Chains A and B, each alone.
Chain A
Amino acid sequence: MMEAEALSKRFGTIEAAREVSFMARDGEITGLLGANGAGKSTCLRMLYGVLTPDSGRASVDGIDILGETSKARAHLGVLPHAAGLYNNLSARENIEYFGALHGMRRRTLRPRIAELTQALGMEEFIERRAKGFSQGQRIKVALARALVHNPGNVVLDEPTNGLDVMAIRNLREMLLALKAQGRCVLFSSHVMQEVAALCDRVVIIGRGRVLADATVTEIRGRRGASSLEEAFLQVLGNSEGVS
């Protein structure tokens, strides 16, 4: 479970987040939907504690991310917007490195990586160096790296960017699998169809503020719109540029 409570953040004159509050529950996929520059990444970054909010509080499983950063992060797997790999290391070594930094010992790390390799279908390239990996392969390794310590909560910032149709489909299955395991999944996107297809709850963000926070059916019902697309557009106002 992850919770944002009235998070505000300013960069100079730009108000990137204004009193943002939402909750991502266990066993659900929560989508953070918004146009480019709406403040999605800023919110997520405050949630996993690489940005300090000017005011407000973020917590993971009830643990304050700023007060007990390390403890909160142990419950959290992060796939940032830029999820680059170390090209000179093999897929396994990339994952091992993050596992070791999480404090995992070799004897727990080995079976865990074997498990992830199988779950994500990485058998073919697990021993290969990351140089020359396809986007799809990269995202699998990056996801495995984020999940290596078996966190109850997963944050993904625009994970489908740059992926082809097959890879997006794969990723979707992976996220559904995480949900089925009872984890709390929170991901951001500017692609409406993606959010509609996958999420239990949608938090719509525009100009640094939460515009709507509800289940997909609720949004549709409340607006009385015939299609989901129409409902979203009503919430956002036409100028937000969500595709």
Chain B
Amino acid sequence: MRTLFCVFRKEFLDNLRDRRTLLSAIIFGPLFGPMLFGLMISRMLEQSAVESDEPLKITISGSGYAPGLTRFLEAQGAQLTKKEFTELQARAAVRAGHETPVIVMVPKEYPQLFSASSPAPVLLFADSADSQTRKIAERARQFLNAYGTMIAQQRLQIRGVNPTLAVPVAVNEADVATPSGRAVVVLGFMTYFVLFAVLMGGLYLAIDSTAGERERGSLEALLSLPVSRSALVGGKILATCAYMCISLALSLAAFVVAFRFVPLERFGMSANLGFGTALLCFLICLPFVPLGATLMTLVASFTRTYREAQTYLSMVLLIPTLPIAFASIYSLKTKGPLMFIPSLSQHLLMTSVLKDESLPVLDILVSGAASIGLAGLLFVMTARHWRRETMLG
């Protein structure tokens, strides 16, 4: 017990002074996810705002030739700026982004052709390479088409023809994407980053206390001390756990802050990540900590150098993604048997918490017990490996 604590204290202190450990435990691991998350959400918000909320801004040239069209566009709520261009000027203006993203130009032959019931030309200038304005151009096109349809129907009616004859097929489109469906993608993303941060927090300590110890040549001296090898490696794993807990707490805190700034309600998601929920998420993830720590320490114990350990452990970092990817493909729900699978169970439980669904206490207990049980098994394997003489390398 004394050995355990002694090793724990040394590893904790040693790595507290190591910039690489601190960077991954405190900065990179916990903050990377929430930052990316915030960025992604705000981008989604931006695009949806463009879609519906803002009035469509159009610059129109030659509006005097088409007063009917101009009135129609204004009636649809478009904000019109009237300004005269030549065709070349219009092209240049749209490309340079000086004016509104879309310019509608009515040429001077329009009135004559319009009254002759011939197709009257209207030019629409837009930049299809610009993904941000593509939607705006799309809406402007819809408005122009709507005007065209309206005029066509009026002309048919005047000539005594039923306008519906010109509409042989009525297409009704239904978008079945539900707000909660969209939420699953976003939340899966978030829970992955929480689990990723947990592993990142202990990554460098797991490497430093095993492969690092061997590479710098301090391992043999340590192994020739009159202490139990289980206590030795146990202390190292405990220190790894401590850093992972810090990472986990920081990561959840960062998400709490990130959620404050993102009005998730607009996606029909409940922004249910306050202090209490974060605490619950912390408890749900806590059993994952010793599992990750023993797994990383075990893998790193087999490697000879820092570099080798990094290679193998970056694969370990991917492990939590697999069940989560699986879960989103098959849209798995929180169910009893799945609680036996670590990382998947934490993901499902956290997702339920965030969606404000009720959680059976049994599920939380099973998830925790499964992770801790597996951690215990891995610890036995690690301790056994440390007792072998091949540990010397």
Residues of A with Cβ closer than 8 Å to B? 45, 48-52, 69-74, 76, 78-89, 93, 97-98, 100-103, 129, 142, 145-146
Is A69 within 8 A of B389, CB to CB? no
What is the distance, in angstroms, from B209's C-beta to the closest C-beta of chain A?
10
Q: A82-B217, A84-B216, A86-B14 are in contact. Are A48 and B227 (CB under 8 A)?
A: no
Is A102 within 8 A of B225, CB to CB? yes
Q: Which residue of A lies closest to B10 (CB)?
A: A97
What is the distance, in angstroms, from A232's C-beta to the closest C-beta of chain B?
28
Q: Identify 4 new A-B residue pairs, CB closer than 8 A, beyond the known A83-B218, A102-B225.
A: A83-B221, A86-B216, A89-B13, A89-B17
Question: Contact check: which of B14, B18, B216, B224 meets A80 at CB < 8 Å?
Answer: B224
CA distance A130 to B91 in the complex (A): 68
1/0 per residue, CB under 8 A from A, across B1-26: the answer is 01100110010011101100000000
- In this complex, which of A72, A89, A97 has the most chain B Cβ atoms within 10 angstroms of its Cβ? A97
Is A102 within 8 A of B221, CB to CB? no
Is B221 within 8 A of A98, CB to CB? yes
**A-B Cβ contacts below 8 A, count:** 80
Interface residue count on the B side (C-beta < 8 Å): 24
B327 interface residue per 8 A CB criterion:
no
**Can you report 22 residue pairs joining A to B where beta carbons are below 8 Å apart?**
A49-B224, A50-B223, A51-B392, A73-B224, A73-B225, A74-B226, A78-B221, A78-B224, A79-B221, A81-B220, A82-B217, A84-B221, A86-B10, A88-B13, A89-B10, A89-B13, A89-B14, A89-B17, A93-B13, A100-B2, A100-B6, A101-B227
Question: Contact check: which of A52, A72, A82, A103 meets B220 at CB < 8 Å?
Answer: A82
Q: Which residue of B lies closest to A78 (CB)?
A: B224
What is the distance, in angstroms, from A74's C-beta to the closest C-beta of chain B?
5
Is B226 within 8 A of A52, CB to CB? no
What is the distance, in angstroms, from B3's C-beta to the closest C-beta of chain A?
6
- Residues on A with C-beta less than 8 A from B218 are 82-86
What is the distance, in angstroms, from B35's C-beta to the closest C-beta of chain A?
29
- Residues on A with C-beta less than 8 A from B216 are 84-87
